[in-house]
Structure 1
């Protein structure tokens, strides 16, 4: 048996002879076998990884399709929500416009919600305790919402300063430089605090009080409260400005009862010293039944000292 092999390599430089013994031949064959095994295993691994990558690509494509479907559904729901909000806003504005038209007719023909009642049927303010009166002053809008008494537009029919047609001005406008502090005129909870596009009020606050009363503060420059906040009479709620449909810096202030606009003028003057003027001048509210509710609440209050009421000027900084 031969123990070695002779290999001859011939090129332009001539023939060269090499001897390869059996051990070297076996090592070379082993190396070739290992290399072949590595190549086969690598190919198998590459094939497996390629298959996994393909599966992941398929899953990624499915997830992308699902994401596209969910995004389409989200956009559809958002469009439906926007449409519903628009319909609610339109119906709300239509309702307010209807209320304005009714008030326009009442103002033009001098009609009241009910005939003038005799004095004997009015509120017996003399029988009210000081605590009952203070409780009413805390719960029902009273006093000025800012440190200014310069009224530039009163409640009632007027020519709209921007649109030019005759319309009901549902509140009172106070001349106020931008940044004038605005205060709550009664205890309550903030229902709206933000930009109100459909009303033209710009940045607006709507404050809900007890017994169906609410107040509106429009054309603000800055708002210091959020919806859901509870505030007390005299608390700072924002600063006057010139936002929305406004021709100059001012505060638009409204007083409403059951969403019906009332002339704020009497409410501005209402105080302990001029307590009877509200009941004498505003007869569209069932004051008798309201006073009875206040009286019952006052009697049920065990510690009336917890509800002090200061004069309006003292509540302002």
Structure 2
């Protein structure tokens, strides 16, 4: 067996002779084999990667088609909701007309304060309502920074009902009760209002004071309108120091602006802006309540004996 090979390369410059040993030949053969394996492996890898890419593209197309179907379903549902809302609106208008014809509902031209007949109320009755029902601002100096209604929550960043009014107040500003009542809650609350006070008032009303720094009252205490119940702060889900103030009736949140503007000089404003409360029934009950002590006293007081001169 030959151990070496001679290779001759001839050019115009002459002939050149090279010797290729068997070891070098084996090395070159092994290198060629490795390169061949790498080539075949690369080809197989590219084949499988192409298959995976094709599968991913099919999956992407499937997701795209599903998204198109979901968007179409969403548009169908939106159209259905709008159709039902329009039908409900028509039904509501028809119901209003029926109630108006039957006399169950006042006409739009009838102002609420005329039906309440505030002119027949005495000054004493009006003052009692103004102290029993939330009236005036809970702060001495007030600047409303956010009113009642839907808004983008400053902390959560999503649309949410703002159930009260935000009043600008630095930390430590005194907060006053807006009506006579009893303390239902005083302390930290899990609703996001932080340190909170809730007062329960007459005729089903209540008020809430949120994001307080500290409170000066405790549950069960009776407070009068104008009493300091705490100091404003920045507790709970709050982006800056302020007071969150709510007015509720039968656990239903009401827009507090009309209540804050309500006063003896501006007495009719509340009844014309807040029509979801039966003010006439409330006023009649109040009139009876204020007349009751005098009638009971006249019934229960013993007759005085006659005196001789």
What band does the TM-score fall into relative to the shorter chain?
0.5 to 0.7
Please tell me whether residue 230 in structure 1 is matched to residue 222 in structure 2: yes
Cα deviation for residue 115 of structure 1 reads 8.0
User: CA separation in 2, counterparts of 1:220 and 1:146?
Assistant: 12
1:207-218 → structure 2 map (5 Å cutoff): 207-218=199-210
Gaps of 5+ in 1: 1-104, 304-317
1:39-188 → structure 2 map (5 Å cutoff): 118-119=110-111, 122-188=115-181
Cα deviation for residue 238 of structure 1 reads 0.2
Tell me if structure 2 keeps the 8 A contact 1:255–1:263: yes
RMSD: 2.3
Partner of 2:212: 220
Q: 1:116 to 1:245 in 2, by over 3 A?
A: farther
Q: Where in structure 1 do 4 or more consecutive aligned residues deviate above 3 Å?
A: 111-117
Partner of 2:270: 278
**Number of positions where the alignment pairs a residue of Structure 1 with one of Structure 2:** 194
Cα deviation for residue 148 of structure 1 reads 2.0
Partner of 1:191: 184
Gaps of 5+ in 2: 1-84, 97-104, 296-309
So what's the TM-score if we normalise by structure 1? 0.58
Cα deviation for residue 302 of structure 1 reads 4.2
So what's the TM-score if we normalise by structure 2? 0.60
Cα deviation for residue 297 of structure 1 reads 1.4
- Secondary structure, counterpart of 1:122 in structure 2: helix
Q: Deviations over 1:55-110 (max 9, x none)?
A: xxxxxxxxxxxxxxxxxxxxxxxxxxxxxxxxxxxxxxxxxxxxxxxxxx9xxx9x
- Secondary structure, counterpart of 1:283 in structure 2: coil
- Secondary structure, counterpart of 1:134 in structure 2: helix
Cα deviation for residue 298 of structure 1 reads 1.6
Cα deviation for residue 213 of structure 1 reads 0.1
